[in-house]
Each structure stands twice: as C-alpha cells, then as structure tokens.
Amino acid sequence: MVTAAAATNLLSVRGLSVRYGEHVALQGVDLDVREHEIFGIIGPANAGKTSFLRALNRMDEFVPGMHVDGTVTFAGRDLRTIRNLYALRRRIGVVFPLPVGLPLSIYDNVALSPRLAGVRGRAELDEIVERCLRRAALWDEVKDRLDGLGSLLSGGQQQRLTIARALSQQPLLLLLDEFSIAVDPVTTMRVEEVLKDLRRELTIVLVTNLVQQARRLADRTAFFLGGRCVEVAGTEALFSGGARDQRTTDYLEGRFG
C-alpha cells in the first residue's frame, strides 16, 4: 500500500469534462493518482468511468464527436501538449474489457511494440517477450507454442496476453477497464495477483463494476455517478463506513447500480 506521506502524484486531473456531441459524459472531475498505487474507480453504468480512461489516453483524437476539456498532468507534463501520441501511449498502456488479440503469433503480439520502438535483436526481443509473459502469469502456459496464434488462446489467456502486450511498452501508467468482464473467476484471481505485484513497478488505474474487486486491489477508490466524481478515499475506509456521501454508501451496500 502507498502511504500518503511517501506519495508522489503521477497524474493530476483538474476540471476534466468529456462530451460526445451534445451529450455530457463527464464533468468537473478533480482527482490525483499517486505513483505505485492501484487507484480504483467504481460506479454504475453510464457514470463516466470509461470516458475518464479515454481522456487519459487521448482517445478523443480517434473518437468522432468526443471533446475533452480540463487539464490532465501526467508525470509533470500537460497531457494535451505531448505531440507524439505513440510516445504517450508507450507510457500509458490500456487493457480493454474484451481481449483484443492481434492476428499475430503469441510472440509477435508481445514483440510488436518493442519492434516499433526500434528493438531488432532476437535475443533482446526474446528476453522482453518472456519477461512480459511471466509478469502477466502466462509464460508457463504458452512457452512451448509462442508461434501459435494469440487469437486461438482461451478468453482468460487472451486477456493476460493483452496485459503482456501492454507491459511490453514499459508503461508508467496502466489503465484497466473492466478487465475481468469476460474472464472466469479463477483467471480473474490470477490476474489480480499479477496486478498486486505490478504495483511495485508502475501505477494502475482500475475501472471495475465489481466493488469487492476494488476492495481487494485498490489503495484508494473513487466513486463516479452521473458523470461526476462523488468522492475519493482510502479503499478500506470507504468500505468500512467512512464514505462522506450517502450515495456512495448506498452504492456500496447495493441499494442501486
């Protein structure tokens, strides 16, 4: 767990709003994400959670009609002033709800980003692929079939392959959007253990519709509702009756959602 005294903010969000055409999905969000923490985001459908992640990864530049206002400071820089989007996305990795396996071998799925970054030596690529697959708890299951198509893996394995691919970019920040939605409970628990270990190396923002998953993993948790961030608090305090807003308590106790 990250202590407040030792914490340094990796991400600072001020006045963040997102709209799609005339529809406002997110408005006036202010929060900070600290280095080497798992920051959970919970809330019902249409609360603005995924739009928040999209804004962090500057997906508005590829989503027609999406418009972002406000300021996001990442590693000391205004996110909107970073001109090289490829370089930005090497520092901010994303794992989507459904695994998106590229039509490549398992090996090439993981080696793609390092190759794009200029890595050419086979020995170095081999080391990166093995390290990332191990960190994603997948190496032992696929090490004898790295030339096989990643798209032929099981759903849980494909999700872990997606995590390995994101890790191959050596991100400072990893965004996970409902990673367990298409994964069986056993694989979910395995991925959760991976995330706990990864906290030592990077920062994780975890959007989840499973409130107990946030309780198991997150150092701090934000509750989103109706496009606003209602509150942010230490996870255990939030789940132990420390919520400041009654709506947070009602959500955690299953009165709506």
Q: What does the pLDDT read at residue 184?
A: 82
Find, among 172, 199, 170, 194, the residue nearest to 183 by Cα: 194
CATH class entry, domain 4-252: alpha beta
For residue 195, what are its two tokens?
């995330």
- Convert the pLDDT of each residue in 202-225 to its tens digit: 999 999 999 999 999 999 999 999
- Convert the pLDDT of each residue in 7-54 to its tens digit: 699 999 999 999 999 999 999 999 999 999 999 999 999 999 999 999
Find, among 38, 39, 41, 33, the residue nearest to 7 by Cα: 33
Give the model's confidence band at 141: pLDDT under 50 very low, under 70 low, under 90 confident, else very high.
very high
State in Å, rounded, how far the first CA of the chain is from the last one: 28
- Convert the pLDDT of each residue in 108-136 to its tens digit: 999 999 998 899 999 999 999 999 999 89
Spatial neighbors of 87 by CB under 8 A, at least 6 apart, are none
| Contact yes or no for 26/55 (Cβ under 8 A) | yes
- Sorted by where each begins, the domain ranges of the chain are 4-252
Q: Is the pTM of this model over 0.85?
A: yes
- Alpha-carbon distances, residue 5 vs 30, 33, 154, 161, 219 (angstroms): 20, 14, 42, 35, 14
